[in-house]
Amino acid sequence: MRASTDLTDDGRAERWTLADVFCREARGRIGRTFDQLFGPDDMALSRLARQVLDGEHQWLEAGIVGLKSGD
């Protein structure tokens, strides 16, 4: 770890403080991101995505993609 290497080189302990605060902030951001991965509508969104992939909502796609049908 760079903080420990630098600490032994010149004795500047504030590098540990900087590294610690950075890691704490990063850990918080990662935690919040994981908390937002799942929500109360996940099952409905998953079901809808499966329906779209299965072609059940092709009427929504008509005319917006610019491809001829059968391509």
- Condensed to tens digits (0 to 9), the pLDDT of residues 33-42 reads 999 898 999 9
pLDDT grade, residue 48 (50/70/90)?
A: very high
Q: What is the pLDDT of residue 11?
A: 65
Residue 67 lies in a domain: no
pLDDT grade, residue 20 (50/70/90)?
A: very high
Structural domains in the chain (count): 1
**57 Cβ contact list (under 8 Å, min separation 6):** 51
Residue 47 lies in a domain: yes
Residue 66 lies in a domain: no
Residue 25 lies in a domain: yes
Q: Are 44 and 52 in contact (CB under 8 A)?
A: no
Q: What is the pLDDT of residue 2?
A: 58
Residue 42 lies in a domain: yes
Domain that holds residue 43: 2-61
CA-to-CA distance for 33 and 43, rounded, in angstroms? 19
Residue 69 lies in a domain: no
Given the structure tokens 């504030």, which residue do they identify? 14
